Each structure stands twice: as structure tokens, then as C-alpha cells.
A and B are shown apart, each in its own frame.
Chain A
């Protein structure tokens, strides 16, 4: 049975956009391309649809639609196209597609959704082109399509010994009508999907070729940098920039307002400071020097003064003058979190069950704000001339950025060209494209191409941060140590981390989930596995402590609950599949030899479901001089079909290390609205020595359509870490970053 194809006959070139862009102001000639790729370039290309073109020599170029932030979609997405096209992967060149909403859907890097949502469309693009090539060959030979076979881009006829390569028939195939229905392969016929293919940019990365936004240069381009308020809650008052303007290489100093009050904002228009000072000059170092010579006066925001009056009842905030402090945040969260909050889900009679409980276990957990700290700081190139805007750089949400530029600068959408560079990390930070708008506004004002560059300090203190969160869990036990009720009450600094319908909801008769928030003027946003990145670790620590209280093995305890959720689920909206959840726990138990043998290592286990994938982890560590030494993490992952196994493994390793690093070491704290960490000397990130010595990754093989991997390995490992630290030290840790608790130097 064929499937309806939604591939249109729109070509990328037809959209009026130039494919690709040249780095460093000089185009890449055919010769360079051939040398670099080790393959001969064709004389002519034939574009069969917006996703691919075929050269007259059989070389295929596949456009990777989604932004590449290190999740490796630039390799795995084209693999899906190549699979259905039936070509030799060695003859494939991958290029980053520009933003094009006519050809592509959802050109976003976020929510671990690229592969899941591209699974059908990308294969369809390959299958559609394959069908067109076959139709053209059948017409040429005057035989029915059903008598043709394809292997590695070579079409053959079963009734004769005729063969023809894709490159030779591509010219004719272009004129074939785009089929309305195509067939997709059976999983068992996959030749590329499920095999490890190396990162298509790896050679360029290890030889230092230009790839990232910060690497983009153009002749007569200027460098722009910003000066932002020193504290959240402050705004620009006035400045003296006269001497800075006289400094060598400095072109201008002015202020911009990125988001005027009357601008209709897009979802992605989130930024810490709308009005900033801008310094423009010939080179980065000159601009950096000039920034120091500018004297800026800042003021408390007027709305803050008003807010403080309204917040009369919140003495803590008032005492800080509206400029926020982390220690006050923690106190406020503990206070608000101890009260009755907004009920999000209730099953059974939790209140009665708690009243009748023989024992109640209650624990509270909290975490600090986090900065994303992408290794490549925020930056963007903009060239706004008259009614046109050309933009090049790292952005996870190019489509939103295009709309925002349209609204902010009044440039027609079809005159805005956005090219995506490889990104030096994303982690959610580059979902918020205020820096794209800033770059465009600056370029328009200067009437010149500019590259906006954030220093590390700008990047860290001008964040859209992971919020500080707090959660309280309560469990009711009867006289026989049976779990009778469960209560979760979660909130945070202006966002709640609660997922009311996730495990253990559905597994407990009496269940109550509540949610609250505390207002704050600190900008927050998505950070790798939003909300899950905190709540998973807290929940999985609590379940560990609860299992111990009940005298049960922590894995058995979870499996019992999942069994209940599978056979006789409580409530209706449980958003996980208990069988798949149990599957990763069983896999990690079996692979780790859980409960068998003796070891000098302390072990912790954890499992979580988010972004459509299931991950269970077991972590082994020892603690020496209050420093954890992590020997091993064993991971079991169910993300359905694994498209590119070794790259998927890399992603799980990275997510695991990232989770450990942030749970153990990282925090961004505030004093009087001022971020207390502004570079890697004060903001601690995990380093080589602190990373696990070994990470084992096991995938569940179940043939289910693939789901994401960028986020799911991160959240649970923090629980495994907390539980292992407890085994090693005898002390439960409730507050992140764990190292401060371990070493007893947590300031608040």
C-alpha cells in the first residue's frame, strides 16, 4: 500500500534563495569542494524536490532541514532521505538547508523532536524522488516500473540486462510528475537506518574549517558588541561615550531597544534586557577595549518600583529593593511550597489517606538557576540594506526569528534570508532569538553588515535561564508499610516543574499533584529537558528513599508500581507507557548485574520518561575527601528505532555527563539582581577528571518509530547520582548542586 506523499514540487532555488553561503568572503570553488570531499563534482545538478538534487555523475546532495546544535541531525536526517532514495551513502553530500517554510516543515531544534517529526517527511522525500527516477527509466526503456529494481543508485531491469545510474536518468526524472502516493520501506529492508554513519562535518571540525556563526566574516563587515545592565531589574539611564568614540577602530556607540512596547512578539522573543548600549567597530578586540571606556548610568526599572509596592505582603522581595537574591528565592520557595497550591490532578482520596497514614515520609528538593553556557557564545551576522535582510548564524528557531524581524523592522518575509550555521551548542538557549533581532537592528542603524558578538560574560549574565525550582513530596504508608497515597507540590521562580500525569501518577490510588510559582524579573526559558531536568532527579531520589523506608529493592519497587499502572491504571491521562518504562529498568538491571556480587562501588538507580523516550541509569561511584569519583554509568534507552547507533550512543554519553555535571557542580546565583557567576572561573562546569570513567549504553530494540535523544538521558542521571551518593556517604542530599552539600559550603 502506498502512502499519500506530501512532498511538493517546490524547489529550494525556486524560492528565490541562494543555497549556501560563502565563508570568509570567498566562495568555495569546485576544486576545493572536490579536494575536501574527495569526490568529483558533476557538471550539472538536477533538483527532484526541495530535499535533494542529483548530479549527472550520480553524486547526490541532500539538504538537512533542521538546525544542527550538536545533536547530529545533520547526519541522521539525511540518512532517512538516503535510505528511501536507495543510494550509496558514500556518494552523498550533505548541506545545511536555509530557512524555507514552503519546502520544509518545522525547522526547529528543540524538544528532541527533529527525528521523530521528520521520520515520515524525510523518508517520503527520498521515496518520492526514487519513484520519479524509476518512472523516468521505465519510460526510457518502455517497460513497466514494476520490472525495475534499484540498488545503490543504479536502476536495473529484471527482464533484460539494462542498467542506468541515477545520474544519467535524473535529467528526465525532473520532468516526471510528483507522485501522489509512494511506498515506504519495511523496517527489515533498511540498509542505512540502523547503521553507524560518521558525523558529516567531522573532518571540517577536526581541521578547524569555518562552520560556526562566530566563524563568519565578510569583507567590510563590522563587529558589534553590547553593554547590558549589570543587574536584573535595572535599565539604561544615560551614558558618556565620547572618549570611546575616539578610540581606534570605533565607528559608533548608541543604544537600541530590541523589543519596543508596541511590538507584537513571537514565542521566541525572550531576552533579559530590551534596551542595551551598542558599540560598533572594526575588530573584536578594539570593540572590547572601547566598551571599558564607556561610562553608563543605570536605573531601577520603574515597573519594579511599582511592583515592590504591590508586593508589600512579600517582605522578602521588598527588602531586596526589587533586586533579587538567591537566598531569598530559596526561602520564598520553601515558604510558598509549604502551602496548599493549585490542584492539577487528584485521584482517589489523598487527604483521607494521609490522615489515616501510619507513617508519612516528606522531603523537599531544590535547585538553582542555571546558565546554558553554550561553548560558542551568542552571536549573529546581519546585513540589512533597504528593504532586504540577510542573516547568518546559530539559531534553533529560524522561522520565529524571521517573523520577528518582519515585525520589528517591517521587512517583507520574502525579503528575509536566514542561513543557519552549525552551532557551538544550543541546549535551549538559542531558541530565544533576541540576539538575531539585535543584530538586525544594529545593521539597519549602521547601514552596514555587522556581526554581533557576545563575550562569555555577556552570554552568561544575559541569560534566559533554567529557573530555580522547589518540590515537596509526601508519601503515606499504612501499618504494613504499604504505600497508600502520594503527594507532589512543585513550583519555581516563575515556572513550575510539575508534570502531573507522569509516573508515579497512574500507579497509586490516592494521588495529588499541586503547582505554584513565585514572580521574578529574571528571564527564564527552556534548558535541555525543561522542567524534567530538575523534577526527575528529585522524584527519583524520593522514590529511592521511599523504597528504603518500605524495605524494598528500589528497582523492584518501581517495577511493582509500573505493573500496577499497566494492569490497572489509576486515572485517565497517564502520559507514559508502563511496559516500555519497565523495559528500560529491566534492561539496566540485567546489564548491570544489579544486586549480584560485591563491589567497592556505591550504586544508585533512576529511570525517567520524557520527550517520548525512556531512560534508566545505574551509576557507580566512590567518594574520597568529599569528592565523588564516578566509575561507571550504565544506561538503558528506549527511543524506538535507533537511526545512527554510534551517534546515538554519543548523545546518551553526552546527556549523561551533562546531567551529572549540572546536578553536581553548576549554579547561577544572584545578589541584588546581579549574577554572581560570569565566566568559567566562578561558574563550575564538569571537566574531564570529574566525568564518569566509563559509560555503557544499551538500546531497546523494538522497531517502534524513533523518538528523540537530545534530552532524555539528562534528567534521570541526577537521581542515580543522588542515590549513589547516599549509599556512599549515608547522607541524603536534597539541594543542587550536590557538591556544595557534600562539602558543606552552600551559602544560603
Chain B
């Protein structure tokens, strides 16, 4: 066990955990930020996607000791009032079914749109391909990403 200081959603937080503990479980078990989901634990499903300095990463693959002073953003911190353009587009298209995969989908989409603000359908499909939705909301996700790309404030 060791103490780690993290910057999560703009706040300085410290946890006392084993250094190999994945960021995913630090967020969920220790910081009670449960919007980041566990789906597979092996980088296959994208449910655990968070931003590390703005880039989408799989938090199940990141040992807490490697986070250092990189800034972590989770779904809870994506926007102040849940009104990030991607979140708004998700509401507009009423995307979720069970909803479990959706915070990971949103985090992937938000990071993607920062790097490509006007993507083609194929680019959206490729960018989102690592995020599984067991309920099959793929067509809505694609439509929502398109809407978000139009509405985002650049």
C-alpha cells in the first residue's frame, strides 16, 4: 500500500492503495466515482474509458502508480452540468437502452471529436469500434456523434 495523489475532475485527491491497482478500481472503490464502468478488465470493451490529459484511455489498464500528475477526467467531470455537446446529443437521440456502456461511449466520442471535429461515418465507426454496446445502440450512437459534431463549440 502506498499513497497516491491524483488530479481527478480538477480536484486533488489522495488514495492509499496497492500500486498496481488499476485506475478503474481506484475511481470506483476508493473515490466512489462509479460512472466509469467495469466491463471486461482486459481492454476489450471500452466501458471503463476516461480521459488522461484529454486523451481517451482504458482505465482498467492503467496502474494507479503510472497516473502521476496527469489529469484524469471521468464522465462525472466531463461537464459541469451534464451539458457537454456529446451528452446533449445523447439525450437528444435518447441513445441508452440499459445504459451501462454509455459513459464509456460518451468519453470515447468526446475525445474523438476533439481530434476530428467533422468526421465521416466511417471515421465515427472506426473511432467507436472499441466500445461494445451489448444492447445494440450503435446506430443511435453514430447519429448522436454526428449531432454532437455539428453542435460542438469549437
Contact = CB atoms under 8 A, between A and B. Distances in A.
Say whether A associates with B: yes
Interface of A: 24, 69-72, 196, 198-199, 201-203, 205-212, 214-215, 217, 223, 248, 283-286, 289, 373-377, 422-427, 455-456, 646-647, 650-651, 653-658, 661, 679-681, 685-689, 691-695
A146 B146 CA distance: 52
Given A212-B100, A375-B98, A681-B44, A207 B136 contact: no
A572 B87 CA distance: 53
B126 interface: yes
B149 interface: no
B94 A207 contact: no
A203 B91 contact: yes
Interface in B52-71: none
B51 to A, nearest CB: 13
Contacts of B28: 284
B121 interface: yes
A259 to B, nearest CB: 27
Contacts of B91: 198, 202-203, 206
Given A283-B30, A650-B94, A658-B136, A680 B38 contact: no
A72 B97 contact: yes
Nearest to B47: A375
Contacts of B97: 70-72, 650-651, 654
Contact of A646 (B32, B82, B94): B94
A691 B33 contact: no
A489 to B, nearest CB: 32
A456 B95 CA distance: 24
A688 B129 contact: yes
Interface residues of B, number: 62
A422 B44 contact: no
Contacts of B100: 212, 374-376, 424-425
Contacts of B141: 688
Contacts of B36: 208
A217 B103 contact: no
B98 A207 contact: no
Contact of B98 (A69, A679, A686): A69
Shortest beta-carbon contacts, A-B, top 9: A208-B35, A70-B98, A424-B100, A657-B136, A208-B75, A205-B99, A691-B138, A680-B44, A70-B97
A685 B134 contact: yes
A72 B140 CA distance: 15
Contact of A283 (B20, B25, B136): B25
Contact of A688 (B32, B102, B142): B142
Contacts of A214: 34, 37-38
A203 B82 contact: yes
B44 A207 contact: no
A208 B34 contact: yes
Contacts of A198: 91, 94
Contacts of B20: 285
A200 to B, nearest CB: 11
Contact of B99 (A201, A426, A657): A201
Interface of B: 1, 17-18, 20-22, 25, 28-30, 32-42, 44-45, 47, 74-76, 78, 82, 87, 90-91, 94-103, 106, 121, 124-126, 128-142
Given A198-B91, A687-B132, A689-B125, A695 B22 contact: no
Contacts of B17: 283, 285
A201 to B, nearest CB: 7
B38 A206 contact: no
Given A211-B99, A685-B132, A657 B138 contact: yes
Given A285-B22, A646-B94, A424 B137 contact: no
A285 B96 contact: no
Nearest to A211: B99
B134 A688 contact: no
A199 B129 contact: no
Contacts of B140: 650, 653
B76 A207 contact: yes
A24 B78 CA distance: 20
B38 A377 contact: yes
Given A248-B18, A285-B22, A680-B44, A424 B136 contact: no
B40 A206 contact: no
Contacts of B39: 375-377, 456, 680
17 contacts: A202-B96, A205-B102, A207-B35, A207-B78, A207-B87, A214-B37, A215-B34, A284-B25, A285-B25, A289-B18, A375-B133, A375-B135, A425-B134, A456-B41, A657-B139, A680-B45, A686-B138
Nearest to A376: B100
Contact of B74 (A202, A208, A283, A653): A208
Contacts of A196: 94
Nearest to B64: A285
Contacts of A656: 136
Given A215-B34, A688-B125, A654 B135 contact: yes
A223 B129 CA distance: 32
A374 B35 contact: no
A209 B35 contact: yes
Nearest to A215: B34
A653 B139 contact: yes
A655 B34 contact: no
- Give the interface centre of A424, A426, A455 by most chain B CB atoms within 10 Å: A424
A679 B40 contact: yes
A198 B90 CA distance: 11
Contacts of B138: 657, 686-688, 691
A93 to B, nearest CB: 17
Given A375-B100, A657-B138, 4 more contacts: A199-B94, A206-B90, A284-B29, A691-B136
B82 A425 contact: no
A248 B1 CA distance: 8
A206 B103 contact: yes
A376 B98 contact: yes
A104 B44 CA distance: 40
B132 A680 contact: yes
B129 A206 contact: no
Contacts of B131: 688
A661 B97 CA distance: 17
Most buried by B among A215, A423, A694: A215
B45 A375 contact: yes
A24 B136 contact: no
Contacts of A376: 37, 39, 98, 100
A32 to B, nearest CB: 14
A427 B136 CA distance: 12
Nearest to A691: B138
Contacts of A212: 37, 100
A429 to B, nearest CB: 11
Contacts of A373: 134
A210 B44 CA distance: 23
Nearest to B29: A283
A691 B82 contact: no
Contact of A205 (B21, B76, B103): B103
Nearest to B98: A70
Contacts of A248: 1, 18
Contact of A695 (B25, B132, B133, B139): B139
Nearest to A216: B34
A212 B138 CA distance: 21
